[in-house]
């Protein structure tokens, strides 16, 4: 046997190199050298996914020459896949270009398997695209009397021959359609394979795109993100009020509803399934797809939302010892789950950490990855319920604290959701005790424009207001109104409790003054006290005084004023430059798990690794809680906001901007 | 560390022996020595399944002494599991009896895992009991605030700790019920695990028995066998007419029905599902169980029945090239399949060999195991369609021949099903041409008792009648009536074809003579000619003249007279002692696959290994067929029935018994 001629092939940007036999294709070379090159059609010059570029004239200094001429000539069929620019620039399809000399080949981003997209967050982070599904285009010869092999064996044979796939299964419902789809498509189909083992979709001809849906089911809001599973891009977003709110505003109310009504669970379950179907229909419609084009779903939510959406009674997560039905992540077929998308699509539900720390918190973990950090992170996910994570590479704790809905503007005299007309910023002159405010939907401060009219105060407005009242001395560290101060804005309600007027009747659209009452301050104290005590319990467990960084997750975290939140002691003292707001980290985590199947394993592992701290059995908790009710704290020191709280020198002008600013 | 004392432990009847540390239990010893001992409760003295007997006073000659006293004393709790006899006879529970001296232990049949049951057939054969499911009794500690682990993790933990089971899953529908069943049973449940990987049932407390259903879906008859999955015993049997007969009597008629009616497939599918549900309900009721006690099902049927019961269009198995949708075996959840049994039960459908050789034939393969024989077996499964297997250890062929329903008494002038009143045996005096017959439901011959009244002729009766007509010279080798013979029993029908009177009007319940016509003889010729030509094609492929053994499967095969079947040339010449009737081998095969999960792998393997011979593309087939139409054959010799066909010496007395015989 004559020795075969070999040529040097180098792939960029990976730098993989090796000697490859003359006549092999670039795709074959890529396999030999371990370079992942995209292909759907199985090297049949049909999909055009394996585009590469030959870099000419390189390493001549090394005596090696790379030339387009070192490959087999380009054919008409191949040329069609390139535009004029690409044709001039040495582009080829790796599946047909044969190697006849040394070549340096550049693999463009779009031809790489495992492309990355960049997620914008506190620290930018890249997500590797590795979805649970992959598409394969296969062409089969139809059966004959000499070769009457069954359709299914014909298809699995083609998948094994073309792509090396073995042990593939198919769901019963799809098997029933196999005969027809193969004959309608002349035995040329694109199959979508889930986790390399199950065919979940068969489409006629070559179809490239695949879409998945990530949904964060909050107690109050449901947000869905439709993603291109090839590029990772979010192609459509929809959010809606959680339709379960009519059965109760918070988690405990809904659990109670399920306990008190025989059909309570069933009703709430149906309601959220309908909600999810509405989201699926709307995001699909936005980009002119059908809901059945959604081939994979990832869901997160707190443990109660998790149980209810699965149709599992939430009773026992509402009662001590708060044991959930399951911790592990789940994969459920869309048809079994009741989702009106592709029936064979997989619905992945992230795991549960504990009775009150659900898949949404696991989503936060995935998004923020404290377990990959050296710094000790305190991650606060502020929603109707507060979940806290404290940890780093070495240790990982979580806890849940009953903050109540005060941070969301509920159970507050003039509280409202963060919607147009809500006061979101408040400033109080330390000397005059005069108030100025800004409302959502209007860029100016009330002292600048008389057109700024308020309807109520949202969560971030309350934080601002109470912090400014503290700074101006209107309330004391204990939260009590200072009776020594006199101002026309300070007065008593009908039932005798003190209140502070933020907006006068003429500045509102509700025909009455908007105030912050003693009770409102108490609600904030209870909420922040619980949260702080939770952080404290975890810090004590790790023998630490304070975290290195504080991450505020949740939409609310994005809008509060970090300095004023710290002034109230929402979290332990910390440099303001080390406090980050990251938005809907739970939703980000759901998206990450949708786009990268390995992250689901990571989620499963981390959810079991994180140690849940049950505050109700912590003997120090009551004392911690009582001390943390003070602003910012009864005993702990807050050097980073000492200057701010001193409130004597700085003019209001310094803190209250004159002009328009961005709302939000 | 002091060296631990060890004792000799011998287990009978396996003979496994070894030295085991002092203080270990017999169950632990059994594990160390590789002896499979039954246990459901995980060594908690709850199930009493691990009964063993200590053999006293053995091998004293060897200086070893086995004594009950060499075990820890028996406790009250343990004693409860034994009757008085057992208590005197050295019985113990292996899970609690600790070893303190040498012992010889006998493991009774019922305590062994992998017990065997004996199947009665041509050659007796044992089936090892190894069902797809196994039960485990687990007790868990309820959750507390200090240990709030989820229910599912609590359960999988107990299964791992008690039985070493890992990677267990649970279906979504069952997960939803977990919370409730655990609390209702005080966290003590018996779980049924499918294939060591999926929990399919959770029952309160300790429940030992499990049941499975094997069903053979014939074109005409559906037969179900309810089996105790622990003992292998058939505890109830039910059969019914296939309710699809109203859509067509044979396979082609049903395929045509599906092609001609938009809702044809759907109707036939629903009909057979309802039929299966009726069978499941009836067998359960027979032994006072619920259909939901059925935890596993195995189904066989021909390829058309297979497709229709799965809801797959049978069109393409009725049209060349006869490609089925799938060859591979299937596992479908009962709920998805539409069966009203345990919703999570698995329904296993044996694989398909070819377009016309279905799972029923794979059942025959499993039951007869030609692939384990040195002899070359010809296995003929005679039903509405005829399927043939020819093979042994070295080679394995199958083919399908369109015999038509003549062998089942259909398309025959006075044909009827094998039911009371059907003529099942006929004898004709070679000289006088007089006929005598026997009917199903009456033990006497018509010449002995005038009370023997006939309604028609069933399949085995036709074979008898035509063979006797051949022997008496009434018909020629070509099948034509011999016009040279005169007898009052020989006459012409209204349309001019000859016929032979088997029963005179006064011997019938239908008010007219019962005859065998020239057309009837032709129908038998066509049927047997196709079958013989099929056998011949396969023999030629293997270069053989004749098989070593002929196995007649199917209920019909059990009733036909082997000598007369051979005389007609239903199969190649063969010693009559080498012809076996094995009854419903397809149903036996279904039962084997139900009781032993390894046999499903074997079925899957053999179904792909068997080479299907497509007769329609065999160039010699038409000639083979034409030659095989003759009785017994145009050219092949039949030395084994030469004597019988000579029909001169023997008196009728020798072949027609005088007294009563068992009806067949």
Q: pLDDT tier at B96 (50, 70, 90 boundaries)? A: confident
* Sheet with B133-139, edge to edge strand ranges: B133-139, B188-194, B198-204, B169-170
Domain-embedded: residue A646: no
What pLDDT digit, counting tens, does each position of A222-236 carry? 999 999 999 899 999
Give mean pLDDT, residues B108-133: 66
User: Which CATH number belongs to the domain containing residue B171 in this structure?
Assistant: 3.10.20.880
Q: Are B172 and A336 inside 8 Å of each other by CB?
A: yes
| A126 shares contact with chain B (CB less than 8 Å) | no
| B611 shares contact with chain A (CB less than 8 Å) | no
ipTM of the complex: 0.79
| A519 shares contact with chain B (CB less than 8 Å) | no
- Closest-CA residue to B331 (of A175, A343, A195): A175
Q: pLDDT tier at B125 (50, 70, 90 boundaries)? A: low
| A179 shares contact with chain B (CB less than 8 Å) | yes
| A310 shares contact with chain B (CB less than 8 Å) | yes
Q: Are B151 and A324 inside 8 Å of each other by CB?
A: yes
Query: Dihedral sign, CA of B546, B551, B554, B557?
Result: positive
Q: Where are the alpha helices (DSSP H) in A55-105?
A: 76-79, 84-88
Distance (Å, whole) CA A61 – CA A70: 18
CB A174 within 8 A of CB A189: no
Closest chain B CA to residue A312: B176
Distance (Å, whole) CA A75 – CA A98: 12
Closest chain B CA to residue A308: B176
User: Which CATH number belongs to the domain containing residue A66 in this structure?
Assistant: 3.10.20.30
Task: Kindly report the number of other CB atoms within 10 A of residue B646's CB atom.
Answer: 11
Q: Are residues A219 and A285 in the same domain?
A: yes
Specify the pLDDT at position A652: 42
Would you say residue A267 has pLDDT above 50?
Answer: yes
Give mean pLDDT, residues B430-458: 90
| B148 shares contact with chain A (CB less than 8 Å) | yes
CB A152 within 8 A of CB A178: yes
Give mean pLDDT, residues B610-628: 91
Distance (Å, whole) CA B198 – CA B341: 17
Q: Are residues A314 and A423 in the same domain?
A: no
Q: Are residues B137 and B248 in the same domain?
A: no
Nearest residue, CB atoms, B148 vs list A178, A322, A336: A322
DSSP A615: G
Enumerate residues 378 to 437 of chain B having a beta carbon within 8 A of any beta carbon in chain A.
none
Domain-embedded: residue B289: yes
Closest chain B CA to residue A174: B312
Distance (Å, whole) CA A119 – CA A116: 10
Domain-embedded: residue B26: yes
Q: Are B327 and A144 inside 8 Å of each other by CB?
A: no
Specify the pLDDT at position A113: 66
- Closest-CA residue to B332 (of B304, B306, B360): B306
Domain-embedded: residue B273: yes
| A150 shares contact with chain B (CB less than 8 Å) | yes
Q: Are residues B144 and B164 in the same domain?
A: yes
Domain-embedded: residue B364: no
Rg, C-alpha atoms of chain A: 30
Domain-embedded: residue B640: no
**A311 min Cα distance to partner chain B (Å):** 7
Q: pLDDT tier at B121 (50, 70, 90 boundaries)? A: very low
| A354 shares contact with chain B (CB less than 8 Å) | yes
Q: Are B179 and A147 inside 8 Å of each other by CB?
A: no
Distance (Å, whole) CA A462 – CA B579: 95
Helices (H) and strands (E) in chain B, counts: 20, 29
Would you say residue A195 has pLDDT above 60?
Answer: yes
Q: Are residues A30 and A80 in the same domain?
A: yes
What pLDDT digit, counting tens, does each position of B176-208 carry? 999 999 999 999 999 999 999 999 999 999 999
Specify the pLDDT at position B648: 43
Mean pLDDT of chain B: 88
> Strand (E) positions, A504-593?
514-517, 549-553, 579-583
Distance (Å, whole) CA B194 – CA B196: 5
Would you say residue A478 has pLDDT above 80?
Answer: yes
Measured between beta carbons, the chain B residues lying within 8 angstroms of A175 are 310, 312, 325-326, 330
Distance (Å, whole) CA A319 – CA A316: 5
Mean pLDDT of chain A: 88
CB A315 within 8 A of CB B152: no
Exposure on the CB side of residue B139, measured as CA atoms within 13 A: 10
**A197 min Cα distance to partner chain B (Å):** 15
Distances (CA, A) of B263 to A527, B254, B258, B305: 63, 12, 7, 16
Taking 3-state DSSP, the helix, strand and coil percentages for chain B, each rounded to the nearest 5, stand at 35, 25, 40
Would you say residue B136 has pLDDT above 90?
Answer: yes
- Closest-CA residue to A129 (of A603, A597, A589, A606): A597
| Residue A237: strand pairing partners | A225
Q: pLDDT tier at A383 (50, 70, 90 boundaries)? A: confident
Q: Are residues A329 and A430 in the same domain?
A: no
User: Which CATH number belongs to the domain containing residue B342 in this structure?
Assistant: 3.30.420.480
Q: Are B143 and A617 inside 8 Å of each other by CB?
A: no
* Sheet with A330-333, edge to edge strand ranges: A234-241, A221-228, A211-217, A294-301, A346-349, A330-333
Which helix (H) or strand (E) element contains residue B564? helix B562-567
Measured between beta carbons, the chain B residues lying within 8 angstroms of A269 are none
Asked which of B319, B349, B379 is the last residue of a domain, the reply is B349
Q: Are residues B162 and B235 in the same domain?
A: no
Would you say residue B560 has pLDDT above 70?
Answer: yes
Give mean pLDDT, residues B459-472: 94
Which helix (H) or strand (E) element contains residue B299? strand B294-301
Would you say residue A221 has pLDDT above 70?
Answer: yes
> Strand (E) positions, A471-526?
490-492, 498-503, 514-517
Q: pLDDT tier at A11 (50, 70, 90 boundaries)? A: confident
Give the domain extent around B25: 6-111
Q: How far is CA B439 from the centre of its chain?
A: 27
Specify the pLDDT at position A60: 56
**B309 min Cα distance to partner chain A (Å):** 11
Size of interface A-B (CB pairs under 8 A): 130
Distance (Å, whole) CA B257 – CA B248: 7
| A352 shares contact with chain B (CB less than 8 Å) | yes
Specify the pLDDT at position B331: 97
Number of domains comprising chain B = 3
Domain-embedded: residue A598: no
- Directed axis angle between helix A459-471 and helix A518-542, to 10°? 90
**B446 min Cα distance to partner chain A (Å):** 51
Q: Are B179 and A313 inside 8 Å of each other by CB?
A: yes
Closest chain B CA to residue A327: B150
Decide: residue A4, CB within 10 A, 0-12 exposed, 13-18 middle, 19+ buried.
exposed
| B327 shares contact with chain A (CB less than 8 Å) | yes
CB A220 within 8 A of CB A409: no
Distance (Å, whole) CA A402 – CA B647: 101
What pLDDT digit, counting tens, does each position of A74-100 carry? 888 888 888 777 777 788 888 888 999
Would you say residue A58 has pLDDT above 60?
Answer: no
Specify the pLDDT at position B582: 87
Which helix (H) or strand (E) element contains residue A309? helix A303-310
Q: Are residues B57 and B81 in the same domain?
A: yes
User: Which of A288-297, B323-332, B418-427 has the weakest average pLDDT?
Assistant: B418-427
Q: pLDDT tier at B63 (50, 70, 90 boundaries)? A: low
| Residue B611: strand pairing partners | B397
Distances (CA, A) of A8 to A27, A91, B141: 14, 19, 65
Q: Are residues A196 and A237 in the same domain?
A: no
Distance (Å, whole) CA B276 – CA B60: 60
CB A54 within 8 A of CB A66: yes
Would you say residue B490 has pLDDT above 70?
Answer: yes
| B619 shares contact with chain A (CB less than 8 Å) | no
**A237 min Cα distance to partner chain B (Å):** 29
Q: Are residues B29 and B99 in the same domain?
A: yes
Three-state DSSP at A422 gives strand
Percent of chain A with pLDDT over 90: 61
Q: How far apart are the first and last CA of chain A?
A: 75
Q: Are B310 and A172 inside 8 Å of each other by CB?
A: yes
Percent of chain B with pLDDT over 70: 93
| B355 shares contact with chain A (CB less than 8 Å) | yes
Greater pLDDT, A291 or B75: A291
Closest chain A CA to residue B311: A176
Asked which of A523, A546, A565 is the last residue of a domain, the reply is A523
Measured between beta carbons, the chain A residues lying within 8 angstroms of B326 are 150-153, 175, 178
CB B226 within 8 A of CB B235: yes
Q: Are residues B166 and B241 in the same domain?
A: no
Specify the pLDDT at position A123: 40
Domain-embedded: residue B262: yes
Specify the pLDDT at position A651: 43
Three-state DSSP at A239 gives strand
Nearest residue, CB atoms, B150 vs list A151, A325, A614: A325
Please give the biggest Cα pair distance in chain B: 104
Give mean pLDDT, residues B466-493: 94
Would you say residue B288 has pLDDT above 70?
Answer: yes
Decide: residue B67, CB within 10 A, 0-12 exposed, 13-18 middle, 19+ buried.
middle
Q: Are residues B178 and B283 in the same domain?
A: no
Give mean pLDDT, residues A637-659: 65
Kindly give the pairing relationship between strand A330-333 and strand A514-517. unpaired
Q: pLDDT tier at A587 (50, 70, 90 boundaries)? A: very high
A230: CB partners within 8 A, 6+ apart? A129, A131, A208, A209, A210
Asked which of B316, B349, B382 is the last residue of a domain, the reply is B349
């Amino acid at each position: 046997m004559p020795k075969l001629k070999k040529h040097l092939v180098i792939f960029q940007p990976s730098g993989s190199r090796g000697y490859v036999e003359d006549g092999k294709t670039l795709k074959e070379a890529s396999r030999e050298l371990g370079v992942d090159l995209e292909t759907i059609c199985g090297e049949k010059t049909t999909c055009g996914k394996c585009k590469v570029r030959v870099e000419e004239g390189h390493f001549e200094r090394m005596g090696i020459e790379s030339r387009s001429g070192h490959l087999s000539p380009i054919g008409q069929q191949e040329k069609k896949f390139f535009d004029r620019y690409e044709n001039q620039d040495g582009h080829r399809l790796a599946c047909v270009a044969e190697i006849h000399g040394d070549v340096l080949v550049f693999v463009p981003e779009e031809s790489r398997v495992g492309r990355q997209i960049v997620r914008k967050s506190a620290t930018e982070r890249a997500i590797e695209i590795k979805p649970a599904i992959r598409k394969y285009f296969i062409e089969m010869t139809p059966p004959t009397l000499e070769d009457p092999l069954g359709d299914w064996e014909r298809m699995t044979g083609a998948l094994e021959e073309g792509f090396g796939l073995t042990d593939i299964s198919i769901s019963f419902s799809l098997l029933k359609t196999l005969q027809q789809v193969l004959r309608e498509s002349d035995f040329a189909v694109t199959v979508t394979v889930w986790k390399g083992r199950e065919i979940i979709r068969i489409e006629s001809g070559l179809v490239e795109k695949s879409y998945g849906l990530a949904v964060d089911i909050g107690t109050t809001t449901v947000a869905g993100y439709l993603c291109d599973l090839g590029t990772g891009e979010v192609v459509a977003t929809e959010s809606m009020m959680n339709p379960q709110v009519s059965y109760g505003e918070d988690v405990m109310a809904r659990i109670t509803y399920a306990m008190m009504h025989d059909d309570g669970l069933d009703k709430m379950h149906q309601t959220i399934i309908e909600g999810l179907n509405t989201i699926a229909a709307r995001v699909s419609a936005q980009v002119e797809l059908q809901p059945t084009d959604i081939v994979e779903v990832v869901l997160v939510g707190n443990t109660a939302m998790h149980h209810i959406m699965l149709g599992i009674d939430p009773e026992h997560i509402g009662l001590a010892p708060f044991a959930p039905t399951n911790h592990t992540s789940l994969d459920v077929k869309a048809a079994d789950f009741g989702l009106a998308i592709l029936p064979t699509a997989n619905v992945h539900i992230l795991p549960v950490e504990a009775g009150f720390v659900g898949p949404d918190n696991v989503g936060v973990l995935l998004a923020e990855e404290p377990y990959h950090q050296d710094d000790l992170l305190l991650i606060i996910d502020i929603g109707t319920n507060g979940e806290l994570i404290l940890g780093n590479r070495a240790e990982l704790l979580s806890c849940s604290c009953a903050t109540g809905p005060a941070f969301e503007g509920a159970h507050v005299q003039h509280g409202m959701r963060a919607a147009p007309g809500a006061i979101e910023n408040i400033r109080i002159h330390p000397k005059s005790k005069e108030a100025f405010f800004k409302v959502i939907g209007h860029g100016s401060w009330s002292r600048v424009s008389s057109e700024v009219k308020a309807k109520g105060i949202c969560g971030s407005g309350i934080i601002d207001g109470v912090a400014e009242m503290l700074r101006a001395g209107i309330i004391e560290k204990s939260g009590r109104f200072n009776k020594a101060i006199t101002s026309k804005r300070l007065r008593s309600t009908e039932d005798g409790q003190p209140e502070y007027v933020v907006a006068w009747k003429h500045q509102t659209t509700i025909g009455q003054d908007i105030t912050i009452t003693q009770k409102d301050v108490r609600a904030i104290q209870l909420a922040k006290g619980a949260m702080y005590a939770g952080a404290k319990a975890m810090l004590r467990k790790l023998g630490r005084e304070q975290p290195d960084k504080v991450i505020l997750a949740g939409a609310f975290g994005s809008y509060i004023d970090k300095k004023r939140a710290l002034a109230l002691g929402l979290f332990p003292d910390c440099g303001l430059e080390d406090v980050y707001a990251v938005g809907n980290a739970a939703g980000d985590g759901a998206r990450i798990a949708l786009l990268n199947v390995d992250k689901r394993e990571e989620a499963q592992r981390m959810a079991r690794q994180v140690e849940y701290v049950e505050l109700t059995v912590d003997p120090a908790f009551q004392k911690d809680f009582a001390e943390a009710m003070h602003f910012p704290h009864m005993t702990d020191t807050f050097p980073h906001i000492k200057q701010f709280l001193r409130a004597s020198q700085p003019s209001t002008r310094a803190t209250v901007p004159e002009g328009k600013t961005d709302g939000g």
